[in-house]
Structure 1
Amino acid sequence: MRVRLLLPGFLGLLPAMAMATEPPPADSVRIYRCVAANGAVTLQDAPCAGTHRQQVLDMQRPRDPPPRPALAPATAPAPPPPEREVRIVTVQPPQPLYECIAPDGGRYTSEDGLGTPRWVPLWVGGYPPPGRIGTAPPASGGGMVAGGRPGHGHPHPGGAVIASGTWVRDVCHPLPQQEVCARLRDRRWELVRRYNSALQSERQALTREQRGIEARLDRDCGGH
């Protein structure tokens, strides 16, 4: 605010209107303070009467405050991230299939890799014992005892002697998965062919086996 005061001594020489001939600044408001002879003080926006002492006050014009910046709209708090779902997937490995070789060179398949067991007699000194040689394990005595050790021969009723021996299994080896799938398909087709000519009592067993092969092809061979 700019205040311009006129001294009392100067007021006695010039009339009051001459003291405020200069226009106020554009951004100011001019106020006249008038003092009468009896000391009464008045404030007005026009010059004082000639008999009054006068003070001119240039005050800054009131202004509206600047507009307040717009508040950003309140945003809802971000939802918490979803809980991470953990899944445990268990993949069953393909079921193996084994090919076994019989003593005569024939080949067959096995699900567990154990070949067909067979009883093999053990010769003593490279010569067979006298009498008849049995091809089956003895019912008691002889044969294989605990620990896999061969037992001793014993007389067979009728005078024959059964030689001691041991159980052996045919050698088996696992087939590649591609070959497993090919043989399963061949087996399925064979079951279909046999079904048409099978007896009613045999068809139930063939149907069960075919269902097992279908499930195995779906699981291990990518379908049919």
Structure 2
Amino acid sequence: MLLLLAAWPSAVVVAQDGMTIYRCVDAAGAVTLQNDVPCPQGSTQTLRKVGALPTLPAPQVVAPPPRAVVPKPATAATAVASPVPPAPPTKRGPPPPLFQCRTWDGRDYLGDTETPPAACVQMETVGIDGSSTLAAGQACEMRRDACIPVPAEQLCAAWKKRMDEAEFRWKFGGSRNDDRKAEFERATRVYRDSTCAG
């Protein structure tokens, strides 16, 4: 490729692998510069060797400084979507006391109090002749159940038994009584919220 230039110093040549630049001046005085191609016959030729130019390393990309994140004010939509932190675990305590009770006719049960209300037990009445056929009235005798506290080391087993018995009465007692269901749910809640449930 021939380049016609006005003067030698103004020529800028970029060499990658090294090359020879030929400066040619013809009979009319016109100057040409040629890369790796000798000047034609009849021209005055001057050589200049150009070595490989050093290359600079690629500029390093500098990451911009992180932008400060400004929290957005909570709106009704974001307040609903925000996750609710879990509640701290509830510290469990021992189960409440229970009492082993026995009725006047020998039935055992677990109760909440040491002094349950007295029950009116029907009495047999007789007439003036001493027989029940002429009995004209009714009578009952007030009797109380005998109760003793369940020892602390047996409370968990007692509450588990009470929960199981309440479930049996609710599910197999002949009718789905709401009071029986409520008693089962209460006993279950007491058991699970205590140290018995581990």
With normalisation by structure 1, the TM-score equals 0.33
With normalisation by structure 2, the TM-score equals 0.36
Bigger Rg, which one = 1
